[in-house]
Amino acid sequence: MIAAFGKLVWLLLVPTHLLLGTLTVALLLAARGRRRARNLAAVALGALLAAAILPLGLWLQAPLERRFPAPDPPPARVDGIVVLGGGIDLQASAAWGQPALGATAERFIAPLELARRWPAARLVFSGGVAPLSWSTGTEAAVVAELYDRLGFGAARLLYEDRSSTTRENALFTRELVGPRPGETWLLVTSAAHMPRSVGAFRAVGWPVVAWPVDYRTTGGVGPWAWRQPASERLAQLDDAAREWIGLVWYRLLGWTDALFPAP
């Protein structure tokens, strides 16, 4: 119930939804002679143009991605590796009969290399169905099919397929594998998602070692960022806002150990 409610709240707070909705309402009110509505429409339009022109999303993503760098040097011993789902198109996967990966595909590629580096480590993929997705399949099933097609040692992999949030990733995976005190477990997810993920795992009593992938910035914003199309800038802003709002939401619910978890 909380997960579904959070999803509905997020749909209202998506920056592009909020700006377009505000602009639409303001224009309708202005058409009915409301003078102040014209000012509101101008502000909403200006904010939308700024979001389309400036790399606001990358500016917001950069501190998230810098928060948890990969360990250097890597751990000498790794007992297990947890890979978080996200970014899989379940509807397209079911419709076309093949794994349909989104922009977070690095999450699913990383275990191939990590499994060779630490051959004794246990491997776990955690991903069910996102709230309100109306999908009959699970991310775990899609990834299992992907690894089977690649010939990647399915016998080594465990799958957690009940989770619908990062909080549940932590709870259900901990229940599945029963990590012991003193063990070293890597957590693989997108770099911008890592602060909230590490906080969620810590909150259930599971200290993990961050192994970030799927970087979208270079740690800052260089000249290359100004060449991106407006549609990509708006998508980046929505992505960054989801993580920052998610951090606040998780902290309010007590699902993370800090507002902005740190190494």
Q: List per-residue pLDDT tens for the chain, 263 residues long.
A: 676 676 677 677 789 999 899 989 988 988 887 778 888 889 999 999 999 999 999 999 999 999 999 999 999 999 999 999 988 888 888 889 888 888 888 999 998 999 999 999 999 999 988 665 666 789 999 999 998 888 886 677 899 999 999 999 999 999 999 999 999 999 999 999 999 999 999 999 999 999 999 999 887 666 666 778 888 999 999 999 999 999 999 999 999 989 999 99
Nearest to 170 by CA among 183, 149, 185, 190: 185
Number of helices (H) and strands (E), helices first, in the chain? 10, 5
Query: Which residues, in sequence order, are bridge partners of residue 186?
Result: 81, 209
Task: Please report the sign of the dihedral spanned by the C-alpha atoms of residue 138, residue 102, residue 169, residue 143.
Answer: positive
Q: How far apart are CA 173 and CA 201, in angstroms?
A: 10
CA–CA gap between residue 88 and residue 202 (Å, rounded): 25
